[in-house]
Amino acid sequence: MKRKLGDLTGRIGDSLDIPKDLSYRESVLTLTGSRELFIENYRCIRRYQDTCILLLSKENKIQIEGTKLMIVYYTDVEMKITGNICKILFL
Amino acid sequence: MGKWEFYRKGYVRLRFWGENPERFLNLCAYHKIPVWKLISIDKAYEMNTTVEGFRRLGGICRKSRVKVKIIGKYGLPFFFYRNKKRKAFFLGFFLGLGLLFLLSGHIWNIHVEGNVYNSTQMILNYLEELDVRHGALKKDLDCAYIAARMREEFPDITWVSVKISGSRLILEIKENGALEEPEEEETAPLDLTARTTGTIVSMVTRRGTPLKKQGDTCTAGEILVSGRLDIKNDSGEIIGYEYTQADGDIYIRHDLEYYQEFSMDYEKPVYTGEKKKGILFQLGGWYLQLKGKSPRESYDRVTSLCQIKLTENFKLPVYYGTVTEYVYEKQTFIYSREEARQKAEENLGRLLESLEEKGVQISGNHVKIGIQGKTCTARGTLTVIEKNEQKTLTEILEQPTERNRQKDE
């Protein structure tokens, strides 16, 4: 039911040309090469190790794999990660 | 919050470990506790947080069953706390800052550029009259006023720009070198008179009545060109006088007496090679000399001083340098006949050179050098041709009365 409501608001947003991160409440990932990742609209941290970070977003899980991963800063809505990023998975 | 804000308010680096570190992180985000530089090391984590944030961590640690340990304290509050015993350091630091602030309100360098005809020192001296000197307060200086006064004082300065840049006062000047001061015209009538007795070799009269001609002899003080013009009527009678400033070039040949004698024996200092060095400091009129006692009474002292400059033109009345004393002994020598003759000729040659530099032509040299006993004598006459007139005031005569007018009366 909740998912259907989300889809509906998303479609309304599409018809009004509202960006998808607002209409579908999707996460926005900004990747700079393989050394810096900026994530907006995530919900919480599920796991944090220096080789893997697992985040929950509204729709799915985002898994970031790499080495020497460091969270430069984070707040309840955004996070900046640096290190050698190898993989980003949507689970 | 920027890095500086964190540093100003102070922050701590924490190490935490426990059952639910992820929950701990999520709770920090939920309670809006700033967290940065978070890394995972083995089974623990390290992160930075503010002092205020650290104080709010108690409940979060309990809920997430995490243990926290401070591993570093950074920022100004911790810096001051650590150095609370070093009062002199802070005093010096703030005193230095205050001094810098105070001194930056003054002018410490006056830079003058573009001046060729007016020396920098001359301009600095004039600026000092305007109370613009090294150390003057910047807020007291009015650049436009200084520029205007400079243009008034130095008429050959055509353009002045005065600006303050930091602690420098920069004066950019453009000069007009061709500007000549207007000569004040004298209105008093003048005669040209001979300065010495002699024969006129050449005479060109530009203004006035010539009383002599080329080839005439004249005595000292005699009028050569008169500044009075006689106005005559048809019958050749003088009916009036007009006066002018006589002008012309008159060259007179005359003789100059030359006599010089000097003794055949003379004293000359002979340096022994012994010298003594010392250091000299000068502060205003006070001297401090760091040197041992001179070994002899007769010595030549060579002093080399350097003035201390704070900036380009800001010179302090403080000098430092070295003093070297060269010891000598006076010994008596006797000129040989050849040497004496050579010396006499050199002296005469120097005199002739100096006369020629002044524009005097030497037309005859009748100087004879003779040696009698212990004296060498050079005597004779030099015949010279030189521009030899001088200006004297013209005698003003009473205007002759007209005969007709006398009859009417």
Q: Measured on CA atoms in the order B281, B282, B283, B285, is the torsion positive or negative?
A: positive
Report pLDDT digits (tens) over B265-318.
888 888 888 888 899 898 877 888 887 776 667 888 899 989 888 777 777 778
> Cβ neighbours of residue B348 under 8 Å, at least 6 residues apart?
B258, B260, B367, B378
* Interface probe, candidates B40, B45, B47, B60, chain A, greatest A C-beta count within 10 A: B40
Q: How far apart are CA B16 and CA B35, in angstroms?
A: 13
Average confidence (pLDDT) over B336-347 = 89
CA of B26 vs chain A CAs: smallest distance (Å):
6
B29 at interface of A, judged by CB pairs closer than 8 A: yes
Min Cα distance B49 → chain A (Å) is: 10
Averaging pLDDT over each range in A66-75, B169-178, B185-194, which range is the top one? A66-75
Higher pLDDT pick, B69 / B1: B69
CATH number at A26-90: 2.60.40.2000
A44/B36 CB distance under 8 A: no
Residues belonging to chain A with any Cβ–Cβ distance to chain B shorter than 8 Å: 44-50, 69-76
pLDDT of residue B409: 47
- The amino acid that residue B230 corresponds to is D
B189 burial level (CB within 10 Å; 0-12, 13-18, 19+): buried
Range(s) for CATH 3.30.70.260 in chain B?
3-81
Region B351-367 average pLDDT:
88
Mean pLDDT over all residues of chain B?
86
Q: Which residues of A are less than 8 Å from B37 in CB distance?
A: 70, 72-73
| Lowest-pLDDT choice from A6-20, B176-190, B237-251, B347-361 | B176-190
Give which of A41, A42, A43, A45 to mutate to test B binding, by max B Cβ within 10 Å. Answer: A45
Task: Identify the CATH homologous superfamily for domain B3-81.
Answer: ACT domain (3.30.70.260)
Element (H, E) at B22: helix B21-30
- Residue-level pLDDT at B180: 56
* CA dist., res. B129 & res. B123, Å (int): 10
Q: Report the percentage of chain B scoring pLDDT > 90.
A: 22
Rounded Cα gap, residues B29 and B45, in angstroms: 16
Residue of B nearest to A52 (CA): B40
Residue span(s) of chain B under CATH 3.10.20.310 come to: 109-175
φ and ψ at residue B114, rounded to 5 degrees: 90, 0
Task: Give the residue from B13, B136, B10, B22 showing the smallest Cα distance to B82.
Answer: B10
Q: What are the residue boundaries of the structural domains of chain A, listed by start?
A: 26-90
pLDDT number for residue B298: 84
Q: What is the pLDDT of residues B384-404, one digit of tens each?
A: 998 878 888 888 888 777 655
Distance from C-alpha of B295 to C-alpha of B164, rounded to nearest angstrom: 55
Structure tokens, B86: 């070093």
Residue type present at position B24: F
For B378-399, letters b (16+ CB in 10 Å) and e give bebebebbbebbebeebeeeee
CB pairs under 8 A between A and B: 43
Q: Does domain B109-175 have CATH number 3.30.1330.20?
A: no
User: What ipTM score was computed for the predicted complex, to two decimals?
Assistant: 0.85
pTM for this prediction: 0.46
Nearest partner of B324 among B345, B298, B303, B339, judged by Cα: B303
What is the rounded CA–CA span in Å between residue B343 and residue B334?
13
Residue B8: how many CB atoms within 10 A of its CB?
Answer: 13
Q: How far apart are CA B171 and CA B159, in angstroms?
A: 10
Whether B38 has its CB under 8 Å from any CB of chain A: the answer is: yes
Report the pLDDT averaged over residues B98-114: 88
| Tens of pLDDT, residues A14-71 | 777 777 777 777 889 999 999 999 999 898 999 999 899 999 988 789 999 999 999 9
DSSP H or E stretch at residue B194: strand B190-194
Rounded CA-CA distance B225/A88 in Å is: 115
CB B214 within 8 A of CB B183: no
Q: Do B38 and A48 touch (CB under 8 A)?
A: yes
Q: What pLDDT score does A86 carry?
A: 94
Q: Give the model confidence (pLDDT) of B39-91 as tens digits.
A: 998 889 999 999 999 999 989 999 999 999 999 999 999 998 888 888 888 89
